[in-house]
Structure 1
Amino acid sequence: MSKDLSRKRTFVILGIVFLAGIAFAGLFNSGLAFTNQEEFCTDCHTMQIPFRELQESAHYKNASGVGATCANCHVPEPFFPKLLAKLIAAKDVYHELVGTIDTPEKYEARRWEMASRVWAKLKATDSRECRSCHDFRSMDLTEQDRSARSKHGNAEDKGQTCIDCHKGVAHEEPDAPETIGDAPDSDAT
């Protein structure tokens, strides 16, 4: 009888662990979905700057009525890359809290650095987030102007990815920082 009782306890414990796992996975997935919402992304006032830029872009407001949100461009759909993106995004919250980017002036001072990180990520992933909506195979090149048709037609052959040409499509493209050799000489008259 003690074997039966032990076996029943084991099944009960396994059942509880299984149900707890399902509950945890559901709550975790809900948390990920919540943090992908535009309202969440733009809650920090620092993120109002890029959000206003997005609102003025064709990625947000256009004739077709299809618009992209922050998560569409900045959060991958596959689970593990999404988790990594969420962990990396925690630095933005940190910098908001410690005051590194908490004013428009401080944000602008770091814009090149922040944009460069996003561009490098997109380059490394072959513009994965862009391709969730845009894909060379789905492009109707005959509907594009001559320049775009030529560039898109050659881009895939050259191994180029979206971000190689499309920096600044949803946000203001920052100016590259001046290097010391390029800076004007303040003593020159």
Structure 2
Amino acid sequence: MKKILDFFRLIFEIFWAGMAVIIIGVTEAIRYGKIHEKILVVFLVLVVVLGLLALAAVEVTSTNGFCLSCHPYLEKEYYASTHGQAGVSCADCHIPEDFSGFVDAKLTGLKELWIYFTEDHPKNREEWKEEYKEKWEDEAYRINLTDDICLKCHGDEGIKPFRKVIAWDTNIHELLRVDEKGLSCFDCHYNFVHGIE
């Protein structure tokens, strides 16, 4: 946990150092009417370094190990689930592929990280169920979970579930008229991976 906190502290410090350099650079450009080559070079190097750090942060924060370090009470259910056994990562379902969804998920993750370090956090699944389930369940389990996320693997073109159901529109989903009722995959399958009761 300390490594994660230190990592984000480092990124925070580098970000503010970069902002200071940018402010100094703009001030110098205004003062002399042009940007000095040295300032431009430093700025470009800083942009490259910050970009590489951002890429590293994206990679680190998209691993199961990172997710489960803050949500250890979900680890058992995840690895016992079909998804966990198939190698589907937390990020595969909880981080959208489109840019705006991706950025939103990462910003939400920063909010969750802040909550994790500043508020009481459940130590085990039982504590979570007793004290936090009602407060966080809807927000936590609906974040970024859309039908498109599920259908990229479970749609007509993707990987079929265990019994290889026939096309979506001719099975139980059609019989239950989920489209007419406005139901999403999550409305019925919310506990499939995490075993939430």
Q: TM-score, normalised by structure 1?
A: 0.65
Post-superposition CA distance 1:111-169 (Å, at most 9, x none): 2433311444346xx33433443334547799316999513457685454321321111
Deviates more, 1:113-122 or 1:34-43: 113-122
**Number of residue equivalences:** 161
Residue among 52, 68, 80 paired with 1:26: 52
Amino acid at match of 2:92: N
Is 1:167 aligned with 2:190?
yes
Matches within 5 A, 1:7-156: 10-44=36-70, 47-61=71-85, 66-97=86-117, 98-109=119-130, 110-122=132-144, 126-138=146-158, 143-144=164-165, 149-153=170-174
**Rg larger for:** 1
SS for the counterpart of 2:137 is helix
For the 8 Å contact 1:95–1:102, the answer to whether it is kept is no
Structure 1 residues 115, 128: CA separation in 2 closer, same or farther (over 3 Å shift)?
farther
Counterparts of 1:139 and 1:41, CA distance in 2: 24
Amino acid at match of 1:54: Y
Please, which runs of 5 or more residues in structure 1 have no aligned partner?
1-5, 175-189
Higher relative contact order (CA 8 A, sep 6+): 1
| Alignment RMSD (CA, Å) | 3.6
Identity of aligned residues (%): 22
Which structure shows the higher helix fraction?
A: 2
Structure 1 residues 129, 19: CA separation in 2 closer, same or farther (over 3 Å shift)?
farther
Please, which runs of 5 or more residues in structure 2 have no aligned partner?
1-31
Post-superposition CA distance 1:51-105 (Å, at most 9, x none): 11111110111xxxx3212222222233332232233234444444432423443
Counterparts of 2:54 and 2:158, CA distance in 1: 34
